[in-house]
Amino acid sequence: MTPKQVVEFAIENGVKMVDFKFMDFVGIWQHFSVPMSEFGEDTFEEGQGFDGSSIRGWQPIHASDMIIVPDPKTAKIDPFIKVPTLSLICNIFDPITKEGYTRDPRNIAIKAEAYLKSTGIGDTAFFGPEAEFFIFDDVRYSSSANQSFYAVDSVEGAWNTGREEFPNLGYKPRHKEGYFPVSPTDSQNDLRNEMVAELQNVGIRVECQHHEVATGGQAEIDMRFNSLVDMADDLQWFKYVVKNVANRNGKTATFMPKPLYGDNGSGMHCHQSIWKDGVNLFAGDKYGGLSQQALWYIGGIIKHAKALCAFTNPTTNSYKRLVPGFEAPVNMAYSARNRSAALRIPMFSSNPKSKRVEYRTPDPSCNGYLAFAAMLMAGLDGIENKIDPGQPLDKDIYGLSPEELKDIPSAPGTLEEALKCLGDDYEFLLKGDVFTPDVIEKWIEYKTEAEVNPVRMRPVPLEYELYYEI
């Protein structure tokens, strides 16, 4: 829609408030609202001022003024606000230079798309993330100087088979046996259907929904792939819808990668391909029906995988999922059909339009704008430098011996290690001014000071069990 069409759309739908949504540096949607009387076509030119120093990782207090400018193409009616509300996703600009703010994640994603076009390699990068999540009935946590705990609960939890529920009806998925059971074992089908309906209401195409492997309410709803920026927008709407539908049903949803010990974590497998003039450049006559460009793209992902994890797996909790020796996508090998490889080539269809690479390492705690942009930049570096991904690995990687695994690159073991790898390998991200040095520096600084160090310095309950009597 054009700005004029957005205003007309708002009037036609009886809008009373306009909600401006934008992505903070870390990866959480922020917003503020104005009355419809304060909104018009000029808003798309002049924007709205706000305090950038109050947003994590952004401006210092002595240079705090920023401008938010809505993107008219993102206009939707928010389904969760009582007063009829128009929702717009926004970009952030510097009020002095009038340029896009370097630390605005959406601006970085926009520049990544522009860089792809500037290379002449392709004109569109498609991404299709599979963001898994958990639906719980209760969550409690606290951490202070003298105590620390967390507790989550679900009526589906395997740990509740003996709970007095008056009556306890059983039908609780066992650990690692939650994949595809029908009701009543799958107790959340109606809830996921409600999520699907709301996703469709905001214009997101959904392909399927199902219970995931873990007990305790793990779920997956698959969205149709989209171009990079649009898919990152869709991912934010996806999280917003899932959380709010769960909330209005008296439940809570989390995209935390590893909320339960001893069961599967939540990943976000990312399907990706590059197109030009309506043709899928990843389709060809090489291994798995891929093109040479697709293989080079894989080579770029493998080469930069450790640095990529700082954006694709950006939490300390991410590495509770990425543990070698278990069914985690830590081994940077590629293979057709093989779900034990970090880079998989889906073989469901022989249609050239379906050819793509599925990168299985990322998780849904990531900031989609940054993660998609970083993956694209790594893949493009592979194409530009013709990086050989090596030979495919068609064996079950989980069953390989240490000797067989020693030459296969692996993901970092901690967020601290991933950030160090990013500090050593980020030149590929700076091409086309997509990422800038201040973004890399601030990301490493923020993650280290706000997440790595606080987690590293705190005792955890298990340490009391292990060491208190020493």
Residues with active-site annotation = 51, 130, 132, 212, 220, 269, 339, 358, 360
Q: Which of 194, 233, 206 is nearest to 80 (CA)?
A: 194
Query: Where do the H-state alpha helices sit in 138-279?
Result: 189-201, 228-248
Per DSSP, the three-state class of 234 is: helix
Q: Which residues pair with 226 in a beta bridge?
A: 127
Question: In the numeric block, which tokens belong to residue 162?
Answer: 């003996």
Over the range 408-422, which residues count as b (16 or more CB within 10 Å of their CB) and which as e?
bebbbebbbbbbbbb
Place of tokens 């928010």: 78
Contact 212, 201 (CB under 8 A): no
DSSP 229: H
Separation between Cα atoms, residue 394 and residue 397, nearest integer Å: 8
Separation between Cα atoms, residue 452 and residue 177, nearest integer Å: 33
**Amino acid identity of 32?**
F
Separation between Cα atoms, residue 409 and residue 83, nearest integer Å: 52
Separation between Cα atoms, residue 233 and residue 224, nearest integer Å: 13
Place of tokens 């093109």: 291
Q: Residue 211: CB partners within 8 Å, gap ≥ 6?
A: 173, 178, 179, 180, 181, 186, 188, 189, 218, 219, 220
Q: How many CB atoms lie within 10 A of CB 47?
A: 20
Please report, in angstroms and rounded to a whole number, the separation of the first and last CA atoms in the chain. Answer: 67
Q: Residue 422: CB partners within 8 Å, gap ≥ 6?
A: 307, 310, 311, 440, 443, 444
